[in-house]
Amino acid sequence: MADTHGNESAKEPSKPGASFDLSSEEFRRLGHGVIDIMADIMDAERNDPVFPENSGSATRARFDLPLPTHGRTFDESLHQCNELLSGGLRRNGHPRFFAYVGASADPIGMFADAMCSALNQNVTAWRSAPAATEMERLVLRWLDEIVGFGGDGHGLLTSGGSAANAAGVSAALASAAQRNGGATSISRDRMTLYTSREGHLSLAKAARCAGLRDDHVRSIGVDDVRRMNVDELTATLRHDVDAGLHPACVCASAGTANTGAIDPLNDIASVCKRFNVWLHIDGAYGAPAAMTEEFAWMSRGFASANSLSLDPHKWLFAPLDVGCIIFRDAEITRRAFALSASYVTVRQTDEIESFAFFDHGVDLSRRFRALKVWMILTTRGTRAIADIIQRNIGLRKSLDKRIEGEPRLESLGSQLSICCFRFVPTGWTDADRINRINEQLIDQIVTEGHIFMSPTTLDGRFSLRVCIVNFRTQESDIDFLVNEVLRVGNGLANA
């Protein structure tokens, strides 16, 4: 085919890799192939081993590939991608994936994620993405309402709980710096932050990134169920104030990652009020439990907080990644984050149209994360989600009962949807020996590939830790887990 200059150069591309702008027919054809692969992934998520047999060197060797200078067909790339990944995937949505706070991902959210990429909205500000901005603001209002924060839905969707905690802590420090109506600017090296020793590591990390000294992050002790000790918090605040320091932020937890402990939120809120300190609640894992009747009481604590983190990619089952921070006061977050530059000047004066997310957080370019949360909430409805959360908590209670009925299993604490326990062979009393057999037990179970657990250590006791945030997990999976722990444990004890 000749081009407008009569040259013979403008030929049909010989390979699809040479043409970026696919026709809608070609897009459809390739997309159907991807959907087929995604359907296979869903089957594998249910049926494959939860953790594959592999090794670091074998996996690394598969990825020792030259830089491709020439393209090829998408089908060829897909084929190779499948080969490269298979054998190296932990199935986080498997019904017996019990590690960390790893949730199963709602397929509805997967479709929304694909649409998000197709739409490719850059949700920096209203003028960049009017509909996406309003959808995010709506989703923030819904999340606020779901957990009973009682605010106006000021906040941001983030990459996850760590980023949400970082935003909460930054806002708290900005607020503290402006205390006394802005008349006195308090220096960050005199500020202090408080969290329980069970608080998530992202809180101390957030403090460090925001310029606080590591030795000004107070690690408050916990009670026998690992909730923050409020008397110790009060005494530490008093001590710091008397020493001329400036308490800037108390970070309470609504469901710790370690054991699911929920700090005494109302008591902590009263202390924060007394000392005029910002209360941030890390509900990255546990906040959605406020949707259930059993844990609705947490909302009272949330309603007293200045900021709250909650992760749709955990107990709201959105695919990674989407976290959320909600603030009581939009102006304070603006104070923490707003900076101007000529190339992002807002020319609109209308209140709605002049809104910019980048005034309230670190990111300028932002993905349209609200789409998947909106799609999940709209398609599923809050009742169905609350039912699954309650079912997950019920499964943890079933596990508690099984442990109670087995003389060789010992519970080390059980809250929300997390249960910590260990195997203790009859007659064994040596603490190191019991720790060692539980270490071997978890290694063997994970290697066998039918169950995935992550351990923790509680008061020196190595513990098997089960966290259930999964719409696929059933009673039969709990039975399987207990039977396997007993089988492997007995085998090791008798070896």
Write out the residues near ligand PLP by the rule CB under 6 A: 100-101, 160-162, 165, 200, 202, 253, 255-257, 282, 284-285, 311, 323
Residues 6+ apart with CB under 8 A from 55: none
Amino acid in the structure at residue 362: V
Minimum CB–partner distance for residue 203 and ligand PLP (Å): 8
Report in angstroms how near the CB of residue 189 gets to ligand PLP at its nearest.
Answer: 26
Strand order in the sheet with 154-158: 154-158, 323-327, 307-310, 278-282, 246-253, 191-196, 217-220
Residue with Cβ nearer ligand PLP (254 or 399): 254
Peptide bond into 400 cis (omega under 30): no
Q: Which contiguous run of DSSP H or E holds residue 155?
A: strand 154-158
The residue with tokens 């060789």 is: 408
Closer by beta carbon to ligand PLP, 121 or else 253: 253
Which letter, b or e, does each residue of 393-412 get, where b requires 16 or more Cβ atoms within 10 Å of its Cβ? bebbeebeebbeebebbbeb
Q: Closest separation between CB of residue 316 and ligand PLP, Å?
A: 12
Question: Rounded distance, CA 53 to CA 318, Å?
Answer: 28
C-beta closer to ligand PLP: residue 103 or 135: 103
**H helix or E strand, kind and range, residue 413:** strand 409-415
Nearer to ligand PLP, 233 or 251 (CB): 251
- Least Cβ distance, residue 171 to ligand PLP (angstroms): 16
Q: How far is the CB of 272 from ligand PLP (least distance, A)?
A: 19
Q: How far is the CB of 486 from ligand PLP (least distance, A)?
A: 28
- CB 125 within 8 Å of CB 358: yes
- Between 168 and 489, whose beta carbon lies closer to ligand PLP? 168
68: enclosing H helix or E strand: none
Using the minimum distance from each CB to ligand PLP, give the nearer residue, 272 or 284.
284
DSSP state of 105: P
Please, which residues bridge with residue 156 across strands? 325
Nearer of residues 210 and 441 to ligand PLP, judged by Cβ: 210
For the CB of residue 254, give the shortest distance to ligand PLP in the complex, in Å: 8
Nearer to ligand PLP, 206 or 485 (CB): 206
Smallest distance, ligand PLP to C-beta of residue 372, A? 15
Compare residues 253 and 299 and give the one whose CB is closer to ligand PLP.
253
DSSP class of residue 187 equals P
Kindly list the distances between the CA atom of residue 319 and the CA atoms of 102, 161, 307, in Å, as whole numbers in the listed order.
10, 14, 24
Nearer to ligand PLP, 202 or 292 (CB): 202
The kind and range of the H/E element at 236 are: helix 230-242
Could you tell me where the DSSP H helices lie in 281-430? 298-302, 330-337, 370-380, 382-404
What is the Cα–Cα distance from 131 to 100, expressed in whole angstroms? 35
Contact 180, 165 (CB under 8 A): no
Q: How far is the CB of 320 from ligand PLP (least distance, A)?
A: 8
Neighbouring residues of 406: CB distance < 8 A, sequence distance ≥ 6: 482, 486
Write down the least CB distance from residue 248 to ligand PLP, Å.
19
